[in-house]
Chain A
Amino acid sequence: MDLFQEFLQHCVNALQWGSFYALIALGYTLVYGVLRLINFAHGDIFMVGAYIAYFVATFFLAQSGWGLTHIMVLILTVPLTMILTSMVGVGLERVAYRRLRRRGAHRLYVVITALMCGLILENGNLALLGASRKKFPDDLIEKVNWDFFGISVTNLKVLVIFAAVIVFVLLHFIVTRTRIGMAMRAVSWDKFALPLMGIPLDRVIVFTFALGSGTAGLGGVLFAMSYPVLEPYMGVMIGWKAFIAAVVGGIGDIRGAFVGGFLLAFVEVMVVFFGWSTLREFFAFSILLGILWVRPTGLFGTAPTTKI
Chain B
Amino acid sequence: MSLLEVKHVTQRFGGLTAVTDFNMALEEHQIIGLIGPNGAGKTTVFNLVSGFYKPTEGSISFEGRDMRPYPPHAITALGMARTFQNIRLWNDMSVLDNIRISQHHRLGYGVVDAILHTRKYKESERSIERTAREILEVMQLSDYAEECPKNLPYGLQRRVELARALSTKPKVLLLDEPAAGLNSVDVEGLIQLIRWIFDEFKISIWMIEHQMKVVMTLCEYLMVVNFGKTIAQGTPREIQNNPEVIEAYLGDGAV
Q: Within the assembled complex, what's the spacing in Å between the Cα atoms of A308 and B48? A: 12
Question: Taking CB as reference atom, which chain B residue is nearest A307?
Answer: B43
Residues of A within 8 A of B52 (CB): 308
Q: Report the Cα distance A154→B47, complex, angstroms.
A: 60
Flag whether B22 is at the interface (Cβ < 8 A): no
Residues of B within 8 A of A308 (CB): 43, 47, 52, 84-85
Interface string of A284-308 (1 = CB under 8 A from B): 0000000000000000000001001
Residues of A contacting B: mostly = loop
Shortest distance in angstroms between B68's beta carbon and chain A's nearest beta carbon?
A: 19
Binary CB contact string for chain B from 68 to 100 against chain A (1 if under 8 A, 0 otherwise): 000000000000000011000000000000000
Contacts of A305 in B (CB 8 A): 13
Given the complex of chains A and B, what is the CA–CA distance between A305 and B18 in angstroms?
Answer: 14
In the bound complex, CA of A271 to CA of B21 (Å): 52
A48 to chain B, nearest CB (A): 40
Residues of A in contact, count (CB < 8 Å):
2
CB-contacts of B125-151 with A (<8 A) = none
- Nearest to B52 among chain A residues (CB) is A308
Chain B 190-210: CB-based contact to A (< 8 A → 1; otherwise 0):
000000000000000000000
Tell me the complex Cα distance, A305–B84, Å.
18
On chain A, the residues within 8 Å of B13 by CB distance are: 305
- Nearest CB to that of B13 among chain A residues? A305
Q: CA separation between A72 and B84, bound complex, in Å?
A: 67
Q: Give B2-28 interface residues, CB cut-off 8 Å to A.
A: 13
Task: Compute how far the CA of A308 lies from the CA of B52 in the bound complex, rounded to whole angstroms.
Answer: 9
A123 CA to B43 CA, complexed, in Å: 52
B82 to chain A, nearest CB (A): 10
Hey, what's the 0/1 contact readout for B31-53 against A, CB within 8 Å counting as 1?
Answer: 00000000000010001000010
CB distance from A143 to the nearest CB of B (A): 54
Q: What residues on A are CB-neighbors of B43 within 8 Å? A: 308
How many Å from the CB of A32 to the closest CB on chain B? Answer: 24
Return A271 CB to nearest CB of chain B, in Å.
Answer: 37
Docked pose: A308 CA to B47 CA in angstroms = 8
Q: Tell me the complex Cα distance, A308–B177, Å.
A: 13
- Which residue in chain A gives the minimum CB-CB distance to B46? A308
**Closest Cβ of chain A: how far from B227's Cβ, in Å?**
19
CA A308 to CA B88, docked complex, whole Å: 9
**Whole-angstrom CA separation of A225 from B143 in the bound complex:** 72
| CB of B53, distance to nearest CB on chain A (Å) | 9
Complex Cα distance, B46 from A308, in Å, reads 10
CB-CB under 8 A from B47, the residues of chain A are: 308
Q: Using a CB–CB distance below 8 Å, which chain B residues touch chain A?
A: 13, 43, 47, 52, 84-85
Q: Which 3 A-B pairs have the closest CB atoms?
A: A308-B47, A308-B52, A308-B43
6 residue pairs bridging A and B, Cβ less than 8 Å apart: A305-B13, A308-B43, A308-B47, A308-B52, A308-B84, A308-B85
